[in-house]
Amino acid sequence: MKILKIFLSLVIISVIGFGSYHGLFLSDLTKIKEITIVGANPNLEKELQKMHGIVPGTSFWKTDVDQLAAKLKKHAWVENIEIKKNFPNEITVQVTERKPKALLNKGQGKFDYIDDSGFVFGPAKPIDASEKVVLSGKSLIEKSELREAAIEVVKQFPPSGAMSLSDVSEIQFNNEKGYQVVLSKTGMIVDLGKENLPVRVDRARRVVQYLESHQINASHIDADYAKKVLVKVRKDR
- Give the distance from CA 42 to its chain's centroid: 17
pTM: 0.79
Q: Are 68 and 54 in contact (CB under 8 A)?
A: yes
Could you report the per-residue pLDDT of 178-228, keeping only the tens digit for each? Answer: 999 999 999 999 999 999 999 999 999 999 999 999 999 999 999 999 889
Q: Would you call 173 helix, strand, or coil by DSSP?
A: strand
- Measured torsion, CA atoms of residues 185, 189, 194, 199, in degrees rounded to the nearest 10: -50
Give the CATH number of domain 102-233: 3.40.50
Q: Which of 10-14, 71-75, 177-181 has the weakest average pLDDT? A: 10-14
Give the model's pLDDT for residue 19.
Answer: 42
Fold category of 30-98 in CATH = Ubiquitin-like (UB roll) (3.10.20)
Q: How confident is the model at residue 55 (pLDDT cuts 50, 70, 90)?
A: confident
DSSP SS3 for 115:
coil
Q: What is the average pLDDT across 10-32?
A: 53
Q: 18 burial class (0-12, 13-18, 19+ CB within 10 angstroms)?
A: exposed
Give per-residue pLDDT as tens, 146-191.
Answer: 999 999 999 999 999 999 999 999 999 999 999 999 999 999 999 9
Q: What angle do CA 88, 91, 95 make, to 5 degrees?
A: 160
Annotated domain spans of the chain: 30-98, 102-233
Q: Please report the DSSP string for 62-89 in residue order.
A: T--HHHHHHHHTTSTTEEEEEEEEETTT
